[in-house]
Structure 1
Amino acid sequence: MPTIRKRGDGQYHVQIRKRGYPTQTKTFTKEADARRWATIIESEMERGVFVSRTEAEATLVKDVLQRYADEVLPTKRSEQSDKSRIKTLLNAFGDYRMASLTSTQIAKFRDQRLQVVGPQSVIHEINLLNRVLKTATMDWGIALPGGLPTAQVRKPTKPRGRDRRVAEAEIAKICSTTESAELRTIIVLAVETGMRRNELASLTWDDIDLTKQTAHLPNTKTDVPRTVPLSKAAVKALKLLGHQNEGRVFSLQAESISQAFERACAPHRANIAGVRFHDLRHEATSRLFEKGLNVMEVAAITGHKTLDMLKRYTHLKAEDLAKKLK
């Protein structure tokens, strides 16, 4: 039975002692609240589902978010983008106690954010919050009695994948417009191999074997190294750039690649609208299928981990498919 006593300051102190469980204590200003809490805790102990709330009740969400930013994010490739998401989560949930965070609050956050940003951005934010809470529960010993509230929230429907195909004439026009030999080479490699922007930016000459026509990528978005075959066009582009014995292939950083590509597509230059650098990866994936490669072969080149993601990046032309029909 719980012990409830009224203290000299008028508050009610509750103590619950049960064999097999740590002693639970809490103080309330109202006796009714004290008895209600005691009934809930004792019932959970009787049913064998009790989880101590002490740590979760004493910890603010902002403390957990900050600890995750300091200790975990530096080990992730998504550190920079997640730092911005951490700020958004701090503003929304920072002052809540871990124990008081509910799925209803997260669902409200989802709906409010959808008025400001797209569904994919909201999905990234909720996924990050889920990872933070999971780390706090599994690694830092901050148990959440009701489980992860993020697991009980319906995520926004993912937007349809972009279906922008980049025509050969458009690629040629962009390459002829830019004054950057590096960007021309990067564009060719992106279309021929489907490499991601960060993968291209981090390429070193040690990674490239022009004799075997391969480029090894030790660091990828999925943390799974892969070796990408280079087409004759890709090898030619690298040779024209000027093969070196060591060092990075490109001086352009990832963000600089996108900025240079946007400038080349601007109205006063190539004048090509509605295309992003990442569309070249879509184009490359579609072209690999059009060359007759199967799913496993394309995934080995592009590094896609799931068929669903591979489908989002693939936009085959109906006229080409019609030619295969009898």
Structure 2
Amino acid sequence: MASFSQRSNGKWQAKIRRQGWPDQSKAFQTLEAAQQWARATEREMDIGAFINRNDAEKTTFADAAKRYKTEILPSKRGKDRDIYKIDQLVEKFGAYSLASINPAMLSAFRDERLKAVAPQTVVHEINMLSRIFKACAMDWGIALPQGIPTALVRKPPVANARDRRLESGEWELLRAALADCKSQFPLAAVEFAIATAARQSEIASLTWQDVDLSRQTARLRGVNGAVTKNGDTHRDVPLSSSAVAILSGLPKAIKGKVFRVTQNALKLSWQRSVDRARQAHIHAKLREALVKSGLDDRATAAEIRALIYHKKAPRPETLDLLAKIEASDTTLADLHFHDLRHEATSRLAEKLQMHELMKVTGHKSSSMTARYYHPRATDLAQKLG
């Protein structure tokens, strides 16, 4: 039976004591509001639908996020990225109690974020919210009166499938740019990726202890030697003669990394090399166009120098030509390091059967492997004869 009392501050407190249920109390501005809450709560108890909201109302999202970072996140991969993601979510929802966060609020957050970031980023953020709410409900016993709110939030569609491979002439340009790096390891790492379909993290983590050149095998691991992206402790891959030649050309040690470069440094070297290679290609095309337009070799060279060193502004006509070439020529445009895995898988598919290919790439299903297989129509035509 509910009882009501007025506090010294003027608020009305409702108390419910019922056998078999935890005591409930809540303060309201008016007696009518207190009575309505008491009737609704007792009705839920009568039909067995009552959920104790106390913990969810007392716990803010910031509290839950902090506990998640302390107790659960350390065992997860990619925790550094997740910490940043959680901090961003705390800025938005930190002051709200868990009981007050509802699907409508999360849907509005989704729509707002889609105006600023890619759909994939929004999906990752919704997934992080879901993991925190699940930890509250399943691991910490915090009953959520509305259930896990992300369950009723539609995730934005993500079109992230890629079919990018190296096109004609791109490898020659890229190889020349990589060869200009101060270290030999970026070029060797890229060549190894094309030969083995290894991920960037697996290449950066490869140690000489996991390489057997005599048996032509290598054991690939994840970031800093941890599990691979698919959750396996490691993946043994065969090494082709070209892969063996790449490794044989590197300084060998009993212990230590094969490619003496961090994953971040490899990422930077890759992007800078792609940018340099594309710039060299575009400038070569521009040089041809300038000569065709009537400029002599000296004037053409001066225009290219002006673009590279910015000491003198090039002619407006040159800038117009440059803009047209950049818009029409896609050589080395939108090329990611992970696209090399697509390139390698497509090449290996010409020599290996599907079940063999899956062992090399580490994919758990043939459908995922198929996402990385992009045969060229001209190559298939040659097989047909």
TM-score by structure 1 length? 0.91
Shift of 1:308: 5.0
> For structure 1, which segment, 157-166 or 55-64, has the greater mean C-alpha deviation from structure 2 after superposition?
157-166
In the alignment, is residue 274 of structure 1 matched against residue 283 of structure 2?
no
Separation in 2, partners of 1:86, 1:236? 44
Shift of 1:277: 1.0
Separation in 1, partners of 2:14, 2:359? 61
Aligned length: 325
- For 1:85-234, list aligned pairs within 5 A: 85-167=85-167, 169-178=169-178, 179=181, 180-218=183-221, 219-225=227-233, 226-234=235-243
Separation in 1, partners of 2:101, 2:24? 21
Unaligned runs of 5+ in 1: none
Kindly provide the amino acid, as one letter, of the partner of residue 347 in structure 2: R
Separation in 2, partners of 1:6, 1:237? 82
Judged with a 3 Å threshold, the aligned counterparts in structure 2 of structure 1 residues 168 and 76 are, in CA distance, closer, same or farther, namely farther
Paired residue for 1:244? Answer: 253
Separation in 1, partners of 2:6, 2:109? 40
Separation in 2, partners of 1:82, 1:91? 14
Percentage of matched positions with identical amino acids: 42
Unaligned runs of 5+ in 2: 222-226, 282-331
Separation in 2, partners of 1:44, 1:195? 56
Separation in 1, partners of 2:54, 2:150? 21
Q: Is the 8 A contact 2:208 2:256 kept in 1?
A: yes
Separation in 2, partners of 1:114, 1:210? 49
> For structure 1, which segment, 276-285 or 122-131, has the greater mean C-alpha deviation from structure 2 after superposition?
276-285
Shift of 1:160: 3.7
Q: Is the 8 A contact 1:286 1:313 kept in 2?
A: yes
Backbone CA RMSD of aligned residues:
2.2
Deviations 1:96-120 (A, max 9, x none): 1110001111111111111111011
> For structure 1, which segment, 261-270 or 226-235, has the greater mean C-alpha deviation from structure 2 after superposition?
261-270
Judged with a 3 Å threshold, the aligned counterparts in structure 2 of structure 1 residues 193 and 41 are, in CA distance, closer, same or farther, namely farther
Paired residue for 1:22? Answer: 22
Q: Is the 8 A contact 1:119 1:158 kept in 2?
A: yes
Separation in 2, partners of 1:49, 1:83? 36
Larger Rg, first or second structure (1 or 2): 2
Separation in 1, partners of 2:214, 2:237? 13
Kindly provide the amino acid, as one letter, of the partner of residue 115 in structure 2: Q
In the alignment, is residue 302 of structure 1 matched against residue 361 of structure 2?
yes
Kindly provide the amino acid, as one letter, of the partner of residue 375 in structure 2: L
Q: Is the 8 A contact 1:41 1:50 kept in 2?
A: yes
Kindly provide the amino acid, as one letter, of the partner of residue 233 in structure 1: S
Shift of 1:321: 4.1
Shift of 1:59: 0.8
In the alignment, is residue 316 of structure 1 matched against residue 369 of structure 2?
no
Deviations 1:201-257 (A, max 9, x none): 111111111122222134212321222222221111000113321111122111111
Q: Is the 8 A contact 2:14 2:27 kept in 1?
A: yes
Separation in 2, partners of 1:155, 1:85? 17
SS in 2 for 1:241: coil
Q: Is the 8 A contact 2:177 2:276 kept in 1?
A: no
